[in-house]
Amino acid sequence: MKKVIRFISMLIVLTFTLVISGCKEERPTFDKKNFTEIGEVVNEIKEGYTFVGYLKNDIDNKTAVLYLPGSTIPQGEYEIIFVEDSKVNQTTKVFSYPEIANDGLTFAGWYTTNDFQKGTRVSTNNNQGANILYARYITFADACLVALVCMIIVFLMLAFLWGVVALFKYLAPKASNEKVNTKENNTIVNTPKKIFTIADITDDDMMVATLVATIEYRNETHENVRVVSVKQIG
């Protein structure tokens, strides 16, 4: 029991350390483009890459807006977002939207609504039905809290499974012993016994037992009895 608790504690510390070290993400660098007036987003051309859209950060609200081709974009400076052609299905042209981190924030998904309603999260450009996407970001503390909750759930499930296994450890031997005993009993009952003839009976006790059995049978049936053979039954 102590070894199990020690192992789980070490696993929790190790996992939490890895989570903390991986929570902070550095923001990549993108080319920028300035729009002097409202316009429609059209595809940008870059060799070896597929155009995704134009990105506008909103750090104060922990979000970013991605304007996809066909959408109307306000004036301002935007980052140009591409994905590598190797990450695009060349038959269907489907690709996953890139996870773009912000300094001090952790990316938490793309949504088709700016209030991040349940069921509006998307991950690919396959029939998402929207020309504008909103990136949700969470702080370092929020990310670690989510990771900690997930870890607690996982370890609770492990503890439950460990309890079930420990319970079977006490139940299994009893059932196994019962099965062995039953098998032994069946072996004893079903073991064939040797059949003796009168000529084989040389022991006085065996002869007495044979005569007693013959007399008892004669008293029960009230018929003449002739011993042909003797079979040991116990």
Q: C-alpha distances in angstroms, 45 versus 42, 95, 173?
A: 10, 17, 71
Tokens 């870059």 found at: 46
Report phi then psi at 101, rounded to 5: -80, 160
Averages of pLDDT over runs of 10 residues in the chain (234 residues) are: 63 60 63 92 93 88 88 94 93 91 81 90 83 86 74 80 77 59 52 60 74 79 74 66
Q: Quote the pLDDT of residue 189.
A: 47
User: 173: which 2 tokens?
Assistant: 């031997």
Beta-carbon contacts of 142 under 8 Å, excluding residues fewer than 6 positions away, are 106
Q: Quote the pLDDT of residue 188.
A: 47
CA dist 132 and 112 (Å) reads 7
With residue 73 as reference, give the H or E element that holds it. Answer: strand 72-73
Tokens 């065996």 found at: 206
Q: C-alpha distances in angstroms, 120 versus 67, 110, 126?
A: 16, 8, 13
Chain-centre distance for alpha carbon 128: 28
Asked if 97 contacts 132 with a C-beta cutoff of 8 angstroms, the reply is no
- Calculate helix-pair angle for 140-190, 2-23, nearest 10 degrees: 150
